[in-house]
Amino acid sequence: MVPLNRVIDRPIILGIVGDSATGKSTIADGIAEILGPDRVTVICSDDYHRYSRVERAENKLSALDPRANYIDILEQHIRALRKGHAILKPIYNHDGGTLDAPEYIEPKEYVIIEGLLGYSSRSIRTLYDVRVYLEPLEALRIEWKIKRDTGKRGHTVEGVMQALEKRKYDTVNFIQPQRTYADIIVQFYPPEGYSTETGGTLNVRHTLRPTLPHPDLTPILDADKPNGLQRRLARDVDGKPVDVLEVAGSVDADQAKAAEDLLWDLMPEARHLRANVGKRPQEKDSLTISHPIALSQLVIAYHLVKAAMGVYAI
């Protein structure tokens, strides 16, 4: 394994937060492939559920409610990982809804914490070097959740829809407020006229907040290619100014490659890691490359490399 140049000698921590079935694992896995699995520890914060599925039902709590999770233990573990210490991570078995035996985890150069409630307290939010929030179009998220939960977790479509209805309050009150604390908000959505698209030709919108110095992609942006890559100034939902990067699912391969080339040129410390990534959400075994997903993963990986170089360490 070729070592990466680093200034910061502790693990760099990335947070990826979003509602159920927003593509968190897909993004996390892709970033790990870019940086190298030997350098990345991926942890699902949903393993910190306090109760089994049966116990949550008895207590009338959903997994989205902080009261149903050991947020304090998650915070302790992230602090330990930042210091390079190993942890005994709990395991939540999604198949049976049970709490299994804990797992011994050692931090690597980069640690990705992905899950529902990673930004749910002020003190835990300070532990991340980079914070990402995923918010695909809601109709798209529902399609992803139905496909995942019926195909991999044995649920029925009716059961999934009932669970979504029961969780609406918790989504609005516990999950969505965490968007406020992200450096990057990633939103996948279908192209105009293709509302049923759920895979490789989805568009993606990155809301880039000024809490991080984002890469300058100006040299490869082309105003004459509206169906490619575009960057513009905008106002976020809170009225604050942000940059918005749009990547169309129909972006041509040449412009996508130009964006990838530029991003790799901007992080020479890691250029030798270059790989072809970008698997579709919910289709991790597919060899089809989605340029919006690949570029999303690469932009986030760029920030992790720069954090390791001390560009904006906390």
Q: pLDDT tens for residues 247-265?
A: 999 998 899 999 999 999 9
**Please, where are the H alpha helices in the chain?**
24-35, 53-59, 71-82, 122-125, 138-151, 157-166, 168-170, 253-266, 291-308
Cβ distance 99 to 48 under 8 Å?
A: no
* Domain assignment present for 104: yes
- pLDDT of the residue at 273: 84
- pTM of the predicted model as reported, rounded to 2 decimal places: 0.93
- Number of domains into which the chain is organized: 1
- pLDDT of the residue at 193: 83
Please state, in angstroms and rounded to a whole number, the distance separating the CA atoms of residues 302 and 297: 9
Whichever domain contains 92, its CATH number is: 3.40.50.300
* Domain assignment present for 7: no
Among the listed ranges 141-145, 231-235, 278-282, 304-308, which one has the minimum average pLDDT value?
A: 278-282
* Domain assignment present for 1: no
Is 298 strand, coil or helix? helix
Q: How confident is the model at residue 87 (pLDDT cuts 50, 70, 90)?
A: very high
* Domain assignment present for 183: yes
Enclosing domain of residue 105: 12-308
In this predicted structure, the answer to whether residue 281 has a pLDDT above a threshold of 70 is no
Please state, in angstroms and rounded to a whole number, the distance separating the CA atoms of residues 298 and 42: 17
Report the candidate in 97, 121, 104, 130 with the shortest Cα–Cα distance to residue 206: 130
